[in-house]
Amino acid sequence: MAASSRLLWASRAAAYLRISTFPRAFSTVLKDLKYADTHEWVKVEGDSATVGITDHAQDHLGDVVYVELPEVGVSVSQGKNFGAVESVKATSDINSPVSGEVVEVNEKLSEEPGLVNASPYEKGWIIKVKLSDSGELNSLMDDEKYSKFCEEEDNH
Amino acid sequence: MASAGLAGVSGAACPLMRLVTMSSVPILQQLHLEERLLRCTPDNWCIINDSTAPATIVMGVSGRVSELVEIQPVLRDQVPVVRRFSGGGTVIVDQGTVFVTFICNKNAVTGLQPFPRDIMSWSGQLYGKVFDRFGEFHLRENDYAFSHRKFGGNAQSITKNRWVHHTSFLWDYDVKNMDYLKIPKRAPEYRLARNHTDFLCRMKEYIPSRSVFTDGVIAALGEHFSVQPMDLQAILSSHEEFVPSTKLVSQQDLEEIVSSKESFRV
Protein backbone atom coordinates (compact mmCIF):
# COMPACT_ATOMS: atom_id res chain seq x y z
CA MET A 1 0.00 0.00 0.00
CA ALA A 2 1.15 3.58 -0.52
CA ALA A 3 2.33 5.31 2.67
CA SER A 4 -0.68 7.61 2.86
CA SER A 5 -3.09 4.67 2.46
CA ARG A 6 -1.23 2.78 5.19
CA LEU A 7 -1.52 5.72 7.57
CA LEU A 8 -5.21 6.11 6.82
CA TRP A 9 -5.79 2.41 7.41
CA ALA A 10 -3.74 2.51 10.61
CA SER A 11 -5.59 5.48 12.08
CA ARG A 12 -9.01 3.96 11.19
CA ALA A 13 -7.97 0.66 12.75
CA ALA A 14 -6.71 2.50 15.82
CA ALA A 15 -9.99 4.39 16.18
CA TYR A 16 -11.97 1.14 15.87
CA LEU A 17 -9.77 -0.60 18.45
CA ARG A 18 -9.80 2.43 20.74
CA ILE A 19 -6.01 2.61 20.70
CA SER A 20 -4.04 5.84 20.85
CA THR A 21 -1.35 6.02 18.19
CA PHE A 22 1.67 8.20 17.86
CA PRO A 23 4.21 8.61 15.10
CA ARG A 24 6.88 6.69 17.04
CA ALA A 25 6.53 3.15 18.40
CA PHE A 26 5.31 3.73 21.97
CA SER A 27 3.68 1.15 24.19
CA THR A 28 -0.02 0.59 23.66
CA VAL A 29 -2.36 2.78 25.69
CA LEU A 30 -6.12 2.26 25.59
CA LYS A 31 -8.53 5.19 25.45
CA ASP A 32 -11.21 4.05 27.91
CA LEU A 33 -8.93 3.27 30.82
CA LYS A 34 -7.48 5.31 33.64
CA TYR A 35 -3.82 5.08 34.61
CA ALA A 36 -1.64 5.43 37.72
CA ASP A 37 1.89 6.83 37.65
CA THR A 38 3.06 3.43 38.88
CA HIS A 39 1.88 1.94 35.57
CA GLU A 40 -1.33 0.17 36.56
CA TRP A 41 -4.56 0.60 34.58
CA VAL A 42 -8.13 0.49 35.77
CA LYS A 43 -11.33 -0.11 33.78
CA VAL A 44 -14.41 1.13 35.58
CA GLU A 45 -17.92 -0.22 35.01
CA GLY A 46 -20.37 1.25 37.53
CA ASP A 47 -18.93 0.62 40.98
CA SER A 48 -16.81 -2.27 39.73
CA ALA A 49 -13.23 -1.96 38.49
CA THR A 50 -10.76 -4.25 36.76
CA VAL A 51 -7.05 -3.64 37.40
CA GLY A 52 -3.89 -4.71 35.63
CA ILE A 53 -0.46 -3.43 34.63
CA THR A 54 0.12 -1.50 31.44
CA ASP A 55 1.91 -2.44 28.25
CA HIS A 56 4.70 -0.01 29.23
CA ALA A 57 5.13 -1.82 32.54
CA GLN A 58 5.14 -5.34 31.11
CA ASP A 59 7.61 -4.28 28.43
CA HIS A 60 9.99 -2.80 31.00
CA LEU A 61 9.61 -5.69 33.44
CA GLY A 62 10.46 -8.44 30.98
CA ASP A 63 8.99 -11.93 30.99
CA VAL A 64 6.67 -12.34 33.96
CA VAL A 65 7.24 -15.73 35.60
CA TYR A 66 5.02 -15.44 38.66
CA VAL A 67 2.16 -13.26 39.89
CA GLU A 68 1.48 -12.93 43.62
CA LEU A 69 -2.27 -12.46 43.90
CA PRO A 70 -4.20 -11.15 46.90
CA GLU A 71 -7.00 -13.13 48.53
CA VAL A 72 -10.58 -12.40 47.51
CA GLY A 73 -12.19 -10.28 50.17
CA VAL A 74 -9.15 -8.20 51.17
CA SER A 75 -9.24 -4.43 50.99
CA VAL A 76 -7.05 -2.47 48.62
CA SER A 77 -6.15 1.21 48.94
CA GLN A 78 -5.25 3.64 46.21
CA GLY A 79 -1.49 3.86 45.87
CA LYS A 80 -0.77 0.90 48.16
CA ASN A 81 0.66 -2.43 47.02
CA PHE A 82 -1.66 -5.44 46.86
CA GLY A 83 0.45 -8.01 45.08
CA ALA A 84 3.58 -8.45 43.01
CA VAL A 85 4.85 -9.71 39.69
CA GLU A 86 8.10 -11.57 39.37
CA SER A 87 10.11 -11.18 36.20
CA VAL A 88 13.25 -13.32 36.06
CA LYS A 89 15.27 -11.78 38.90
CA ALA A 90 12.93 -9.16 40.32
CA THR A 91 9.74 -8.91 42.30
CA SER A 92 7.89 -5.68 41.58
CA ASP A 93 5.03 -4.45 43.70
CA ILE A 94 1.67 -3.89 42.02
CA ASN A 95 -0.05 -0.84 43.49
CA SER A 96 -3.80 -0.43 43.38
CA PRO A 97 -5.05 2.60 41.43
CA VAL A 98 -8.33 2.45 43.40
CA SER A 99 -9.64 1.64 46.87
CA GLY A 100 -12.18 -1.04 47.60
CA GLU A 101 -12.67 -4.75 48.14
CA VAL A 102 -11.15 -7.45 45.95
CA VAL A 103 -14.08 -9.47 44.55
CA GLU A 104 -12.21 -11.59 42.02
CA VAL A 105 -8.62 -12.45 41.11
CA ASN A 106 -7.38 -13.80 37.80
CA GLU A 107 -6.57 -17.39 38.79
CA LYS A 108 -5.32 -18.12 35.25
CA LEU A 109 -2.20 -16.10 36.08
CA SER A 110 -1.07 -18.84 38.46
CA GLU A 111 -0.57 -21.22 35.55
CA GLU A 112 0.02 -18.65 32.82
CA PRO A 113 1.80 -15.61 34.28
CA GLY A 114 2.93 -14.73 30.75
CA LEU A 115 -0.60 -13.49 30.02
CA VAL A 116 0.49 -10.26 31.70
CA ASN A 117 3.03 -9.78 28.91
CA ALA A 118 0.98 -11.15 26.02
CA SER A 119 -2.31 -9.43 26.87
CA PRO A 120 -1.81 -6.80 29.59
CA TYR A 121 -5.21 -5.13 29.07
CA GLU A 122 -7.36 -8.19 28.38
CA LYS A 123 -6.46 -11.72 29.44
CA GLY A 124 -3.69 -10.44 31.76
CA TRP A 125 -6.07 -8.56 34.10
CA ILE A 126 -5.10 -9.09 37.73
CA ILE A 127 -7.93 -8.20 40.15
CA LYS A 128 -11.52 -6.96 40.15
CA VAL A 129 -12.46 -4.49 42.83
CA LYS A 130 -15.75 -3.21 44.24
CA LEU A 131 -14.99 0.50 44.47
CA SER A 132 -15.33 2.31 47.77
CA ASP A 133 -14.62 5.80 46.45
CA SER A 134 -15.16 6.55 42.77
CA GLY A 135 -13.94 10.12 43.40
CA GLU A 136 -10.41 8.72 43.50
CA LEU A 137 -10.57 8.19 39.75
CA ASN A 138 -10.15 11.94 39.27
CA SER A 139 -6.57 11.69 40.47
CA LEU A 140 -5.67 9.16 37.76
CA MET A 141 -4.41 9.94 34.27
CA ASP A 142 -6.33 9.53 31.06
CA ASP A 143 -4.73 7.86 28.04
CA GLU A 144 -3.19 11.05 26.64
CA LYS A 145 -1.65 12.14 29.92
CA TYR A 146 -0.36 8.64 30.58
CA SER A 147 1.19 8.35 27.13
CA LYS A 148 3.01 11.62 27.68
CA PHE A 149 4.09 10.47 31.13
CA CYS A 150 5.61 7.29 29.68
CA GLU A 151 7.33 9.29 26.95
CA GLU A 152 8.90 11.59 29.54
CA GLU A 153 10.05 8.66 31.67
CA ASP A 154 11.68 6.92 28.72
CA ASN A 155 13.40 10.08 27.52
CA HIS A 156 14.70 11.09 30.95
CA MET B 1 22.78 18.66 57.33
CA ALA B 2 22.50 14.88 57.62
CA SER B 3 20.65 14.53 54.34
CA ALA B 4 22.95 16.70 52.24
CA GLY B 5 25.77 15.12 50.32
CA LEU B 6 29.26 16.30 49.65
CA ALA B 7 30.20 17.47 46.18
CA GLY B 8 30.94 14.51 43.94
CA VAL B 9 33.22 14.13 40.94
CA SER B 10 31.09 16.44 38.81
CA GLY B 11 30.86 19.10 41.50
CA ALA B 12 27.11 18.57 41.94
CA ALA B 13 25.76 17.41 45.29
CA CYS B 14 25.60 13.61 45.54
CA PRO B 15 22.78 11.81 47.31
CA LEU B 16 23.67 10.24 50.61
CA MET B 17 24.23 6.50 50.83
CA ARG B 18 24.47 4.93 54.26
CA LEU B 19 27.03 2.12 54.39
CA VAL B 20 26.70 -0.88 56.69
CA THR B 21 29.61 -3.31 56.76
CA MET B 22 29.39 -6.54 58.66
CA SER B 23 30.93 -9.96 58.72
CA SER B 24 29.61 -13.50 59.16
CA VAL B 25 26.03 -12.37 59.80
CA PRO B 26 23.53 -15.18 59.11
CA ILE B 27 21.83 -14.62 55.75
CA LEU B 28 18.34 -14.77 57.29
CA GLN B 29 19.24 -11.88 59.58
CA GLN B 30 20.77 -9.94 56.69
CA LEU B 31 17.63 -10.37 54.57
CA HIS B 32 15.38 -9.31 57.45
CA LEU B 33 17.51 -6.18 57.84
CA GLU B 34 17.28 -5.44 54.11
CA GLU B 35 13.49 -5.78 54.06
CA ARG B 36 13.20 -3.45 57.03
CA LEU B 37 15.49 -0.83 55.51
CA LEU B 38 13.64 -1.07 52.20
CA ARG B 39 10.12 -0.82 53.63
CA CYS B 40 10.64 1.34 56.73
CA THR B 41 13.30 3.93 55.91
CA PRO B 42 13.59 6.67 53.28
CA ASP B 43 17.37 6.38 52.92
CA ASN B 44 19.77 4.90 50.40
CA TRP B 45 21.79 2.00 51.82
CA CYS B 46 24.71 -0.18 50.87
CA ILE B 47 25.09 -3.33 52.93
CA ILE B 48 28.23 -5.43 52.73
CA ASN B 49 28.28 -8.75 54.59
CA ASP B 50 31.59 -10.53 54.27
CA SER B 51 30.91 -14.24 54.76
CA THR B 52 27.95 -15.93 56.40
CA ALA B 53 27.23 -18.85 58.67
CA PRO B 54 25.67 -21.33 58.81
CA ALA B 55 25.73 -22.50 55.17
CA THR B 56 22.19 -21.83 53.96
CA ILE B 57 20.15 -22.43 50.82
CA VAL B 58 18.36 -19.26 49.72
CA MET B 59 15.50 -19.43 47.21
CA GLY B 60 13.72 -16.62 45.40
CA VAL B 61 10.18 -15.63 46.29
CA SER B 62 8.41 -18.04 43.95
CA GLY B 63 10.83 -20.95 43.88
CA ARG B 64 9.42 -24.48 44.15
CA VAL B 65 11.51 -26.35 46.69
CA SER B 66 11.13 -29.76 45.05
CA GLU B 67 12.36 -28.43 41.71
CA LEU B 68 15.35 -26.54 43.07
CA VAL B 69 16.65 -28.41 46.10
CA GLU B 70 17.78 -31.98 46.77
CA ILE B 71 15.53 -32.29 49.81
CA GLN B 72 16.71 -35.69 51.15
CA PRO B 73 20.36 -34.63 51.66
CA VAL B 74 19.17 -31.24 52.96
CA LEU B 75 17.05 -32.95 55.60
CA ARG B 76 19.78 -35.45 56.40
CA ASP B 77 22.40 -32.72 56.89
CA GLN B 78 19.96 -30.18 58.36
CA VAL B 79 20.86 -27.42 55.93
CA PRO B 80 18.60 -24.40 56.52
CA VAL B 81 16.46 -23.32 53.55
CA VAL B 82 15.29 -19.70 53.31
CA ARG B 83 12.73 -18.16 50.95
CA ARG B 84 13.76 -14.54 50.43
CA PHE B 85 11.62 -11.54 49.54
CA SER B 86 13.27 -10.85 46.17
CA GLY B 87 12.96 -12.65 42.85
CA GLY B 88 15.56 -14.79 41.16
CA GLY B 89 17.07 -18.19 41.62
CA THR B 90 18.51 -20.47 44.26
CA VAL B 91 21.94 -20.25 45.83
CA ILE B 92 23.79 -21.90 48.66
CA VAL B 93 25.74 -19.37 50.69
CA ASP B 94 28.48 -19.95 53.22
CA GLN B 95 31.71 -18.54 54.59
CA GLY B 96 33.04 -18.11 51.04
CA THR B 97 30.20 -15.76 50.04
CA VAL B 98 30.40 -11.97 50.11
CA PHE B 99 27.11 -10.07 49.89
CA VAL B 100 26.64 -6.56 48.52
CA THR B 101 23.21 -4.94 48.59
CA PHE B 102 22.02 -1.59 47.29
CA ILE B 103 18.76 -0.14 48.57
CA CYS B 104 17.87 3.06 46.72
CA ASN B 105 15.13 5.58 46.28
CA LYS B 106 13.89 5.59 42.72
CA ASN B 107 15.31 9.09 42.23
CA ALA B 108 18.71 8.27 43.71
CA VAL B 109 20.31 7.74 40.31
CA THR B 110 19.40 10.42 37.77
CA GLY B 111 17.55 9.01 34.79
CA LEU B 112 17.38 5.44 36.15
CA GLN B 113 13.85 4.01 35.83
CA PRO B 114 12.87 1.57 38.60
CA PHE B 115 12.64 -1.48 36.36
CA PRO B 116 14.69 -4.69 36.56
CA ARG B 117 16.76 -4.39 33.40
CA ASP B 118 17.53 -0.73 33.95
CA ILE B 119 18.78 -1.39 37.48
CA MET B 120 20.69 -4.47 36.36
CA SER B 121 22.44 -2.49 33.61
CA TRP B 122 23.36 0.31 36.03
CA SER B 123 24.81 -2.23 38.44
CA GLY B 124 26.85 -3.77 35.63
CA GLN B 125 28.41 -0.40 34.88
CA LEU B 126 29.20 0.19 38.55
CA TYR B 127 30.76 -3.21 39.03
CA GLY B 128 32.66 -2.87 35.76
CA LYS B 129 34.66 -0.16 37.50
CA VAL B 130 35.42 -2.58 40.32
CA PHE B 131 36.24 -5.69 38.30
CA ASP B 132 37.64 -4.58 34.93
CA ARG B 133 41.19 -4.48 36.25
CA PHE B 134 41.04 -8.08 37.53
CA GLY B 135 39.59 -9.97 34.62
CA GLU B 136 37.34 -9.98 31.58
CA PHE B 137 34.25 -8.81 33.44
CA HIS B 138 30.79 -9.09 31.93
CA LEU B 139 27.20 -8.66 32.96
CA ARG B 140 25.92 -11.81 31.22
CA GLU B 141 22.12 -11.76 31.13
CA ASN B 142 21.61 -11.18 34.87
CA ASP B 143 24.89 -12.54 36.25
CA TYR B 144 28.34 -11.11 36.86
CA ALA B 145 30.97 -13.22 35.12
CA PHE B 146 34.62 -13.36 34.30
CA SER B 147 34.59 -14.49 30.69
CA HIS B 148 31.78 -17.09 30.67
CA ARG B 149 31.98 -18.11 34.29
CA LYS B 150 29.59 -16.71 36.84
CA PHE B 151 30.82 -15.36 40.15
CA GLY B 152 27.93 -13.14 41.17
CA GLY B 153 24.19 -13.77 41.20
CA ASN B 154 21.62 -11.01 41.47
CA ALA B 155 18.09 -10.48 42.65
CA GLN B 156 15.86 -7.47 43.04
CA SER B 157 12.76 -6.24 44.75
CA ILE B 158 11.07 -3.10 43.47
CA THR B 159 8.47 -1.15 45.42
CA LYS B 160 6.57 2.00 44.54
CA ASN B 161 9.41 4.42 45.30
CA ARG B 162 12.40 2.25 46.18
CA TRP B 163 14.31 -0.77 45.04
CA VAL B 164 16.76 -3.35 46.28
CA HIS B 165 19.45 -4.91 44.13
CA HIS B 166 21.39 -7.56 46.00
CA THR B 167 24.20 -9.84 44.98
CA SER B 168 25.82 -12.95 46.38
CA PHE B 169 29.43 -13.03 45.27
CA LEU B 170 31.40 -16.28 45.18
CA TRP B 171 34.67 -15.28 46.75
CA ASP B 172 35.07 -19.02 47.26
CA TYR B 173 32.70 -21.95 47.36
CA ASP B 174 32.60 -25.54 48.52
CA VAL B 175 31.91 -27.86 45.58
CA LYS B 176 30.22 -30.34 47.92
CA ASN B 177 27.60 -27.71 48.84
CA MET B 178 26.53 -27.49 45.21
CA ASP B 179 25.25 -31.05 45.47
CA TYR B 180 22.33 -29.75 47.56
CA LEU B 181 21.06 -27.79 44.55
CA LYS B 182 19.40 -29.16 41.43
CA ILE B 183 20.26 -27.64 38.07
CA PRO B 184 17.34 -25.25 37.58
CA LYS B 185 14.86 -25.56 34.71
CA ARG B 186 15.04 -21.83 34.19
CA ALA B 187 18.70 -21.11 33.50
CA PRO B 188 20.49 -18.38 31.54
CA GLU B 189 21.27 -19.25 27.94
CA TYR B 190 24.98 -18.78 28.41
CA ARG B 191 24.99 -21.57 30.99
CA LEU B 192 24.69 -24.05 28.09
CA ALA B 193 23.71 -26.93 30.41
CA ARG B 194 27.04 -26.77 32.26
CA ASN B 195 27.13 -28.22 35.74
CA HIS B 196 27.93 -25.99 38.70
CA THR B 197 31.67 -26.63 38.56
CA ASP B 198 32.01 -25.72 34.88
CA PHE B 199 29.64 -22.76 35.10
CA LEU B 200 31.02 -20.96 38.16
CA CYS B 201 34.37 -19.45 39.12
CA ARG B 202 35.91 -18.21 42.36
CA MET B 203 36.73 -14.53 42.81
CA LYS B 204 39.76 -15.38 44.94
CA GLU B 205 41.47 -16.65 41.78
CA TYR B 206 41.19 -13.18 40.24
CA ILE B 207 41.37 -10.66 43.12
CA PRO B 208 44.11 -10.49 45.78
CA SER B 209 41.86 -10.16 48.86
CA ARG B 210 38.25 -9.70 50.02
CA SER B 211 39.07 -6.22 51.29
CA VAL B 212 40.45 -5.18 47.88
CA PHE B 213 37.06 -6.16 46.49
CA THR B 214 34.92 -4.46 49.13
CA ASP B 215 37.09 -1.32 49.15
CA GLY B 216 36.68 -1.21 45.38
CA VAL B 217 32.89 -1.34 45.72
CA ILE B 218 32.89 1.51 48.22
CA ALA B 219 35.18 3.57 45.98
CA ALA B 220 32.93 3.00 42.94
CA LEU B 221 29.88 4.01 44.98
CA GLY B 222 31.68 7.17 46.01
CA GLU B 223 31.56 8.39 42.40
CA HIS B 224 27.76 8.53 42.57
CA PHE B 225 26.97 8.93 46.26
CA SER B 226 28.24 10.51 49.41
CA VAL B 227 28.98 7.35 51.39
CA GLN B 228 28.39 7.51 55.13
CA PRO B 229 29.43 4.56 57.34
CA MET B 230 26.76 3.59 59.89
CA ASP B 231 26.80 1.72 63.18
CA LEU B 232 25.23 -1.72 62.67
CA GLN B 233 23.98 -2.10 66.26
CA ALA B 234 21.98 1.11 66.06
CA ILE B 235 20.23 -0.09 62.91
CA LEU B 236 19.52 -3.63 64.11
CA SER B 237 17.42 -2.36 66.99
CA SER B 238 15.15 -0.08 64.92
CA HIS B 239 11.70 -0.82 63.41
CA GLU B 240 11.24 -3.94 65.48
CA GLU B 241 7.48 -3.95 64.76
CA PHE B 242 8.05 -4.68 61.05
CA VAL B 243 7.35 -8.29 60.07
CA PRO B 244 9.60 -9.41 57.19
CA SER B 245 8.36 -11.82 54.54
CA THR B 246 11.68 -13.67 54.21
CA LYS B 247 11.13 -16.96 56.01
CA LEU B 248 12.89 -20.12 56.98
CA VAL B 249 11.26 -23.14 55.30
CA SER B 250 10.41 -25.44 58.19
CA GLN B 251 11.62 -29.01 58.54
CA GLN B 252 7.99 -30.11 58.58
CA ASP B 253 7.33 -28.43 55.24
CA LEU B 254 10.38 -30.08 53.71
CA GLU B 255 9.28 -33.48 55.00
CA GLU B 256 5.80 -32.97 53.59
CA ILE B 257 7.24 -32.24 50.16
CA VAL B 258 9.29 -35.41 50.27
CA SER B 259 6.28 -37.49 51.24
CA SER B 260 4.00 -35.81 48.73
CA LYS B 261 4.02 -36.97 45.09
CA GLU B 262 3.22 -33.52 43.67
CA SER B 263 5.36 -30.39 43.82
CA PHE B 264 3.78 -27.31 45.38
CA ARG B 265 5.00 -23.96 46.55
CA VAL B 266 5.75 -23.93 50.26
Residue B14 Cα distances to A57, B20, B226, angstroms: 29, 18, 6
- Tabulate helix, strand, coil % of chain A (nearest 5): 30, 30, 40
Do residues B177 and B103 touch, judged by C-beta distance below 8 A? no
Backbone dihedral region for residue B96 (phi beyond 0: left; psi -120 to 50: alpha; all else: beta): alpha
Residues of B in contact with A88 (CB under 8 A): 87-88, 116, 142
Least CB–CB distance from A38: residue in B88, B157, B160:
B160
| A156/B116 Cβ within 8 A | no
Specify the pTM.
Answer: 0.87
Query: What is the DSSP secondary structure assignment for residue B69, as one 8-state letter?
Result: B
User: Is some CB atom of chain A closer than 8 A to the CB atom of B168?
Assistant: no
- What does the pLDDT look like over B208-219, one tens digit per residue? 999 999 999 999
Look at residues B249, B218, B250, B240 and name the one whose alpha carbon lies nearest to residue B33: B240
Residues 6+ away with beta carbon under 8 Å from B28: B56, B80, B82, B246, B248
> What ipTM describes this predicted complex?
0.86
Residue pair A63/A89 in contact by the 8 Å Cβ criterion: no
CB neighbour list of residue B40: distance below 8 Å, 6 or more residues apart = B238, B239, B242
Q: Which of A92, A153, A156 sits opposite B158 (nearest CB)?
A: A92
Nearest-angstrom CA–CA distance, A134 and B175: 58
Domain boundaries, chain A: 34-155
Does domain A34-155 match CATH 3.40.50.12160?
A: no
pLDDT in tens, chain B (266 residues): 334 444 445 556 789 999 999 999 999 999 999 999 999 999 999 999 999 999 999 999 998 898 999 999 999 999 999 999 999 999 999 999 999 999 999 999 998 999 999 999 999 999 999 999 999 999 999 999 999 999 999 999 999 999 999 999 999 999 999 899 998 887 888 988 888 889 999 999 999 999 999 999 999 999 999 999 999 888 876 767 889 999 999 988 898 888 884 455 55
Q: Are B125 and B118 in contact (CB under 8 A)?
A: no
Establish if B167 touches chain A: CB-CB under 8 angstroms.
no
How many angstroms away from the CA of A96 is the closest CA of chain B? 11
Q: Is A68 on the interface with B (CB under 8 A)?
A: yes
CB contact under 8 A, A90 and B157: yes
Superfamily in which the B16-235+245-264 domain is placed by CATH: Bira Bifunctional Protein; Domain 2 (3.30.930.10)
